[in-house]
Amino acid sequence: MQFLQLVISGIAQGCIYGLIALGFVLIYKATETVSFVQGELMMLGAFGGLACMTMLNFPFWLSVICAISAMAVFGVLLERLIIRPILGQPAFSIVMLTIGIGYVARGLITMIPGIGTETHTLPVPYKDEIWKVGTLVLNVEQMVVIAATSVLCGLLFAMFKYSKMGIAMQASSQNQLAAYYMGIPVKRINGLVWGLASAVAAIAGLLLAPITFVHANMGFIGLKAFPAAVVGGFGSLPGAIVGGLIIGIVESLAGFYAPDGIKDIAAYVVVLIMLMVKPNGLFGEKLRKKV
Amino acid sequence: MRFVFKTDYAQDIRLAKHGGHVFWYSLLMVFLLAAPWLIAEYWLAQLTFILIYAIAGLGLMLLAGFTGQFSIGHAAFLGVGAYTQAVFTNMGFPFPFALAMAGMLSAAVGVVVGLPALRVKGIYLGIATIAFAFIVEEVFARWESVTGGNSGIHIKAPNLFGWELSSGEEFYFLCLVITVTVTLGILNLLRSSTGRAFVAIRDSEISAQSMGIHLARYKTLSFAISAALAGIAGALYAHKLQFISPDQFNIIQSIDLLLMVVIGGLGSVHGAFLGAIFLIAMPQLIAMTKDYLPAVIGQAPGLQSLVYGAVLIGFVLGEPLGLYGRWFKIRTYLQTFPFYRKGMFKRQKTFQKSDRLK
């Protein structure tokens, strides 16, 4: 029973990692740039939700919609104003650029007087409730995370499979030039992908907020989403979620069965082993560069 | 306008290309040698930090700027060097021995980290180095019998065979000697065939391989040298602060080191120094201007990270070759005075030079 309990809380945590990793993978697949800003986008999303709920006194559902759509717009603007001018530069420039954006986001949030340096709780309706199923004690917050992630995955799957926009995104991520020749507006698609990735990050932030707290440094959890993305294979959307779940479960089990301190580095140990054994990840395609 | 008339192939690899170099670098050396008598003790300490960070920066520059392998976990090597130095110095070993051990142990760790670099590249390597850095940081915190755990460890003043270098001035000269040695070493390395092999790997692994460069050997070598320099810097850092704890070698420090080489200018030895000056001078500048800003902005804790981020974004967008690139343009303008053209340094866009198979 204890084992099952640990696995469930690991899955909930893993869903968060998976959602952030999903953002990385979306952006990587579409524009072949690696975004180090995903964790900060998540933090901004959580703060957005907090602002809607506590300052504007919106009801819960409206705050969620507002925060997510605001972050989507923010993502599109970010791509248009900062990322696009240097597309085509070496990949590392863009990595440094996103690190810079992360610094600015964290700095700006901490500069808001009275709010930025504090930790807040997000007043969600399902706070601190538990369900008892047999001997299992289920935390509703964790259940919501798992349910929301499953729904979101379903929606994303449907979008990529059936909608015109999703298929265009797939085409553009497979071969930008060919997609462009087919009349797909690749630039606009790139912007929308950033918007989508930011929205997913905001959802992750809103889901994580009731479990931990909302504070300026919560974006550092994004660093654990990298291992998730690598374990799943950097270019694979289902891989990101699976990788996140693996990392979450390993971490949760390590926290209980392994000595102190192993929990914090479990994710990194897993990713190092993965890189040594199977550098392309579980679902990654094996690709070699041609001359 | 200056025109260097080349009559000999040896001129191409000479360290000082013309009289101007000799003059200005001699002037810089004279200033650095006289610095303890010219500037106040506080600023001398800052100058010492610049030298220490410049050594670490040279290491990272060799790896990132010249070999093209990005390490986002370089603080781990800094930490390995610092802790090795602390342990050996506190056991009573003389400074040169402890320093050599710090450098060699870091290099050994660097080789281990470099191993994944043989299989993975680009962002995967970055993630491998981040993962490694987190693990090392945790080891520092948990291996309490050696590292003192989270409460940190004190380190005695460096001991050069009975001569205690306890004052700031003496330690400054020690750092200066090591920095100059390391810089000359790197400059020499870069004009040797090894250095050219590094640059070839950076520019294209496939073409380097087809020219007969043993990728595995040179990548590992680059990691080892880079880690050794970071270790030496870490050793000096430990002596300078006299107290080290695991949180000094966290991910923020790693990103700071990376920020240093990017803002300084990737692919130039000058860049490591300019970046170190930026990294040390920026907090001072912010502290100085704080009083003139409104309290809401000036007293906010996030100001420094905001400024760092904004400067980083500015450089990546506007001046990808960093401070050195800016200086290089100004210098070219002066050297070719009436003939400077606007498009001379136009950035070339390489649309989707993909790492993936298409």
Per domain, the residue ranges of chain A are: 2-222
CA separation for the pair A214, A112 (Å, rounded): 14
pLDDT given for residue A291 in this prediction: 47
Of B35, B1, B30, B2, give the one whose Cα is nearest residue B17.
B2
Nearest to B302 among A91, A109, A275 (CB): A109
Residues 6+ apart with CB under 8 A from A162: none
- Percent of chain A scored above 90 by pLDDT? 11
Mean pLDDT computed over B184-188: 93
SS3 percent helix, strand, coil of chain A, rounded to 5, is: 75, 5, 25
Task: Assess whether pLDDT exceeds 50 at residue B358.
Answer: no
Task: Assess whether pLDDT exceeds 70 at residue B351.
Answer: no
pLDDT given for residue B21 in this prediction: 83
pLDDT tens-digit readout, B195-243? 999 999 888 888 888 999 998 889 999 999 999 999 999 999 999 888 8
CA–CA min distance B61, chain A (Å) = 14
- Kind and range of the H or E run holding B244: strand B243-244
**Per-residue pLDDT band at B47 (split at 50, 70, 90):** very high
Token digits for A265?
């580095």
Mean pLDDT computed over A175-183: 84
Of A10, A7, A26, A13, give the one whose Cα is nearest residue A238.
A26
Of A232, A191, A223, give the one whose Cα is nearest residue A36.
A223
Mean pLDDT computed over B152-178: 83
Q: Which domains does chain B have, with CATH numbers?
A: 36-340 (1.10.3470)
pLDDT tens-digit readout, A192-234? 999 999 999 999 988 888 888 888 888 888 888 888 888 888 7
A115 reaches B (C-beta below 8 A): no
**Per-residue pLDDT band at B83 (split at 50, 70, 90):** very high
| A227 chain-B contacts, CB cut-off 8 A | 127, 131
CA separation for the pair B117, B122 (Å, rounded): 9
| A224 chain-B contacts, CB cut-off 8 A | none
A19 vs B348, which has greater pLDDT? A19
CA separation for the pair A41, A27 (Å, rounded): 13
CA separation for the pair B23, B19 (Å, rounded): 6
- Kind and range of the H or E run holding B243: strand B243-244
CA–CA min distance A94, chain B (Å) = 8
Task: Assess whether pLDDT exceeds 90 at residue B126.
Answer: no
Mean pLDDT computed over B98-115: 90
A158 reaches B (C-beta below 8 A): no
CA separation for the pair B124, B356 (Å, rounded): 13
Task: Assess whether pLDDT exceeds 90 at residue B105.
Answer: yes
Mean pLDDT computed over A134-152: 84
pLDDT given for residue B107 in this prediction: 94
| B142 chain-A contacts, CB cut-off 8 A | 260-261
CA–CA min distance B306, chain A (Å) = 4
CB A151 within 8 A of CB A207: no
Helix (H, G, I), strand (E, B) or coil at A279: coil
ipTM of the complex: 0.85
Per-residue DSSP letters for B169-203? HHHHHHHHHHHHHHHHHHHHHHTSHHHHHHHHHHH
Report B:15-54 residues touching A (Cβ under 8 A).
Answer: none
Task: Assess whether pLDDT exceeds 70 at residue B106.
Answer: yes
Least confident of A210-219, B18-27, B55-64, B74-83: A210-219
| B350 chain-A contacts, CB cut-off 8 A | 88-89
Residue A63 has, within 13 A of its CA and on its CB side, a CA count of 23
CA–CA min distance B64, chain A (Å) = 10
